[in-house]
Structure 1
Amino acid sequence: MTIETLREQMITAMKAGNKLKKEVLSSVLSTAKNMAIEKGCKDNISEEIVNAAILKELKTATEMLDTCPSDRLEQLEEFTLRIEILKEIAPTMMDKSEIERYVIQLVEENNIELITKNKGQIMKVITPSLKGKADGKLVNTVVQEILKNE
């Protein structure tokens, strides 16, 4: 998602009177700006940075939901709604089969032997290219499964 699209959605939510959605989008926008400043490109915020900000906010909201006491119904509902809003705008993540195909392709391209001893080398090659496209834990699990089958 581009920064412009994010701003447009925030303005639309504001005009519609959807306070929570406006708040969530504003938070993502703020996180994206901060991430861009850290990377030294505050005037040119890429889609990659915006997507990373969305995923960061989604992770934070999920953690807040998980740690919220069960008797706090209002907060539980708010966190659940935040997660739903963030999932609507979050980039689509690769599923297990897509990750599997990608891992095998990258291993072949880099001439890495599929043995347990090379797991670190495989992860080193794969992780940067899948950042923001796939869940890191799932990637790790898929690599372990591939190595077990070899």
Structure 2
Amino acid sequence: MSLMERINEDLKQAMKNKDKLRLSVIRMIRSAIKYAEIEKKTTALSDEQIIDVLSREMKQRRESLQEFENAGRQDLVDNVKAEIEVIQEYLPKQLTEEELKVLIQEIIDQVGAKTKADMGKVMGVLMPKVKGRADGKLVNQLVQQHLS
């Protein structure tokens, strides 16, 4: 079953269960995917392209979560956390910080990086491998720690 088929099935199930939050998040996901299809002038996105869209949506939610926490808006924080949980169901299993550190060290050794000036080389090889499976900010921080 493709990712889009799974999303559509979950949409139907959320309607049957009258799960308003889940239904609204899945509709938002479908809308974002449809927008990406229009942008790319295609009728259907691949699973990898859908994961890119979901990763972008997840990043937006995390940024919003930070802003809402800073503003002390607990009602919005709870809502965004619930949205993040639904979106995560469609993303590949996230890498732990330890798994990331091991992968980063392997790539640093592979490209022969020594200083922060080599960060671009490391990120260029690393990001395609962790796409959709790790937060870019965290990856960036860990690479900087390894290269300092």
TM-score by length of 1: 0.77
Q: How do 1:1-150 residues align onto structure 2 when only pairs under 5 Å count?
A: 2-40=3-41, 42-68=42-68, 69-70=71-72, 73=75, 75-109=76-110, 112-116=111-115, 117-148=117-148
Counterpart CA distance in 1 for 2:8 and 2:127 is 30
Structure 1, gaps ≥5 residues long:
none
Letter aligned with residue 72 of structure 2:
S
Shift, 1:118, TM fit: 1.9
Shift, 1:18, TM fit: 1.0
Percent sequence identity over aligned pairs = 28
Shift, 1:71, TM fit: 5.5
| Residues 41-89 of structure 1: CA deviation (Å, up to 9, x unaligned) | x32321122222222222323333333453573x444333222322333
Counterpart CA distance in 1 for 2:44 and 2:33 is 11
Letter aligned with residue 119 of structure 2:
K
Counterpart CA distance in 2 for 1:105 and 1:67 is 35
CA-based RMSD of the aligned residues comes to: 2.5
Counterpart CA distance in 2 for 1:77 and 1:144 is 32
Structure number with greater Rg is 1
Q: 1:80 to 1:145 in 2, by over 3 A?
A: closer
Shift, 1:140, TM fit: 1.7
Shift, 1:21, TM fit: 0.8
Counterpart CA distance in 2 for 1:46 and 1:18 is 27
Runs of 4+ deviating beyond 6 Å: none
TM-score by length of 2: 0.78
Contact kept? 2:36, 2:53, Cα under 8 Å: yes
SS in 1 for 2:89: helix
Contact kept? 1:107, 1:113, Cα under 8 Å: yes
Contact kept? 2:113, 2:121, Cα under 8 Å: no
Letter aligned with residue 3 of structure 2:
T
Q: 1:36 to 1:101 in 2, by over 3 A?
A: farther
